[in-house]
Structure 1
Amino acid sequence: MSILSYLHVVLTTRLVELRRDGERGDSPVPTAVIIFGLVFVATIVTGLALNRANSWMTNIPTFTNPVP
């Protein structure tokens, strides 16, 4: 039971320390880099979705090219 008490005290102490130093503003990664990464990923996902949609639309049969 002593190991559980020890872990509880350690976890509680660490959570109190994290709450105290919550908004220091010294992130190791600048905000601009994070935003650029998000925009880059969003552009890739949008391009892939557009490619899939165009590919799906070209496979729809028309009245001039019906499927037997």
Structure 2
Amino acid sequence: MRLVAYLHIVFLDRLAELRRAGDRGDSPVPTAVIIFGLVAAAIAVTALVSTKAKSWMDAIPGPAAP
């Protein structure tokens, strides 16, 4: 019976310790904001590179007429 009482007290102590510990990790909101920012930056860079590449390709002269 003493073992059961000991395990019960250890269990309750561990639960109390978990309740006191306020740090449970990072919220998903900042992670989502960071991901959204990275996606927006990637879209902007892709659009800029695509525009520059298209203008560079348009500057290439076509084949000469025979």
Into which bin does the TM-score normalised by the smaller protein fall?
Answer: 0.5 to 0.7
Unaligned runs of 5+ in 1: 1-23
Per-residue CA distance 1:18-66 (angstroms, 9 max, x = gap): xxxxxx6236x6100000000000000000000000000000001148x
**Greater than 4 Å deviation, 4+ residue runs:** none
Give the equivalent residue in structure 2 for 1:50: 50
TM-score, normalised with respect to structure 2? 0.53
Structure with bigger gyration radius: 2
Which amino acid is 1:46 matched to?
T
Higher relative contact order (CA 8 A, sep 6+): 1
Q: TM-score when scaled to structure 1?
A: 0.52
Give secondary structure in 1 for the equivalent of 2:34: helix
Percent identity of the aligned residues?
61
Pairwise CA RMSD of aligned residues? 2.1
Aligned length: 41
Q: Equivalents in 2 of 1:25, 1:48: separation in Å?
A: 37
The structure richer in helix per residue is 2
- Structure 2 partner of 1:62: 62
Asked whether 1:26 is paired with 2:43, we answer no
